[in-house]
């Protein structure tokens, strides 16, 4: 099964409006200098700017470049101060919503249950959803990695139909690898991805599991991307720090070809 690779940059709470405009232009210039970077819209590229910078980035979208939101609320509207709904993101012209990032879980008390509500709201509004899962350092040391991944995946994808899975991407981000410079080894990452794919086959069917893209995130950079992306079950990357450096992000995109 050949899955088109997806390289996504999560800008987190970086790049205000003017910086974001400059960053996306610099990134496009890097990619345009290599015409083969994206042929037949593959690999797909995606960036998640902060909400206030979307206006600067969205006009640059098109072709293989899509834009997403870093979070979404599950209600369509209502008294939820500070939140943004899926229909609002869809109306803006965004393609994706990032769901259940470990920083949302760690700092804002998001749970598997709320990740599921957000994911289903995104799909209902016609967006694509990227569900983030991954174990902490402590969970890994206790041998709980697969147990945690299974819980997060089962909850996160609860009540999602096989048909809607065509609009879902899973991102495996071991929490201990995020922003630490400690990347999972190619073998460990591949093992986790293969496990996630086997779970998808159980939850849905083999065909759905084979078609669903599973991205790796956690200190992916220009130096380690090629090795990770060569693994059979690694279908792309969700990149934090290196996505803020146009030359590095473009190198990762080239590695995905
Ligand atoms: P880093 O690439 O900075 O480790 O961040 C990964 C991440 O959290 C992407 O969502």
CATH number of residue 56's parent domain: 3.20.20.70
Name every residue whose Cβ is closer than 8 Å to that of residue 162 and which is 6 or more positions away in sequence: 204, 205, 208
Total structural domains within the chain: 1
47 and 242 in contact (C-beta within 8 Å)? no
Report pLDDT for 1: 66
48 and 8 in contact (C-beta within 8 Å)? yes
Q: State whether the beta carbon of 173 lies less than 6 angstroms from ligand 1.
A: yes
User: Ligand 1: distance of its center to the CA of 77 in Å?
Assistant: 30
Domain range for 99 is 6-132+145-242+251-256
Residue 89 counted as domain residue = yes
Of 101, 103, 150, 193, the active-site residue reads: 101
133 and 145 in contact (C-beta within 8 Å)? no
Residue 73 counted as domain residue = yes
Q: How far apart are CA 142 and CA 126, in angstroms?
A: 39
Give the E-state strand segments of 22-103 in sequence order.
44-48, 65-69, 96-99
Out of 238, 243, 252, mutate this one to test ligand 1's pocket (max ligand atoms within 8 Å of CB): namely 238
Q: State whether the beta carbon of 248 lies less than 6 angstroms from ligand 1.
A: no
Q: How far apart are CA 219 and CA 17, in angstroms?
A: 25
Q: Hunting for tokens 């997806």 — which residue is that?
A: 6
User: Ligand 1: distance of its center to the CA of 216 in Å?
Assistant: 9
Report pLDDT for 15: 98
Q: Hunting for tokens 């950079």 — which residue is that?
A: 221
Q: How far apart are CA 120 and CA 131, in angstroms?
A: 11
Q: How far apart are CA 182 and CA 203, in angstroms?
A: 31
Residue 170 counted as domain residue = yes
209 and 235 in contact (C-beta within 8 Å)? no
Active site residue 101: yes
Residue 138 counted as domain residue = no
Residue 1 counted as domain residue = no
Burial state string for 226-236 with b = 16 or more CB within 10 A and e = fewer than 16: eebbebebbbb
Residue 137 counted as domain residue = no
* Angle (CA) 177 180 186, round 5°: 40
pTM: 0.97
Residue 140 counted as domain residue = no
Residue 196 counted as domain residue = yes
Q: CA-CA distances (angstroms) from residue 16 to 21, 159, 160, 194?
A: 9, 36, 34, 37
Q: List the chain pLDDT tens, one digit each, 257 residues.
A: 689 999 999 999 999 999 999 999 999 999 887 665 677 778 999 999 999 999 999 999 998 899 999 999 999 999 999 999 999 999 999 999 999 999 999 999 999 999 999 999 999 999 999 999 999 999 999 999 999 999 999 999 999 999 999 999 999 999 999 999 999 999 999 999 999 999 999 999 999 999 999 999 999 999 999 999 999 999 999 999 999 999 999 999 999 98
Q: How far apart are CA 220 and CA 71, in angstroms?
A: 21
CA-closest candidate to residue 172, choices 202, 122, 213 = 213
């Amino acid at each position: 099964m050949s899955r088109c690779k997806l390289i996504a940059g999560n800008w987190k709470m970086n790049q205000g409006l003017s910086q974001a405009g400059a960053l996306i232009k610099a990134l496009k210039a890097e990619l345009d200098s290599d015409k083969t970077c994206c042929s037949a819209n593959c690999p797909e590229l995606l960036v998640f700017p902060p909400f206030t910078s979307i206006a600067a980035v969205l006009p640059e979208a098109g072709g293989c470049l899509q834009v997403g939101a870093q979070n979404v609320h599950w209600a369509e509207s209502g008294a939820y101060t500070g939140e943004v709904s899926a229909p609002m993101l869809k109306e803006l012209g965004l393609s994706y919503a990032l769901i259940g990032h470990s920083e949302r879980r760690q700092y804002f008390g998001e749970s598997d249950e709320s990740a599921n509500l957000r994911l289903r709201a995104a799909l209902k509004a016609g967006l694509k959803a990227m569900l983030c899962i991954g174990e902490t350092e402590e969970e890994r040391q206790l041998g709980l990695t697969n147990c945690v991944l299974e819980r997060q995946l089962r909850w996160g994808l609860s009540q999602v139909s096989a048909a809607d899975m065509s609009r879902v991407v899973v991102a495996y981000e071991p929490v201990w690898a995020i922003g630490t410079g400690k990347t999972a080894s190619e073998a460990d990452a591949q093992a986790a991805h293969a496990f996630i794919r086997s779970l998808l086959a159980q939850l849905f069917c083999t065909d759905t599991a084979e078609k669903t893209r599973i991205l790796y995130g956690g200190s992916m950079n220009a130096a380690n991307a090629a090795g990770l992306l060569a693994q059979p079950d690694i279908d792309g990357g969700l990149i934090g720090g290196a996505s803020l450096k146009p030359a590095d992000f473009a190198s990762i995109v080239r590695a995905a070809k």
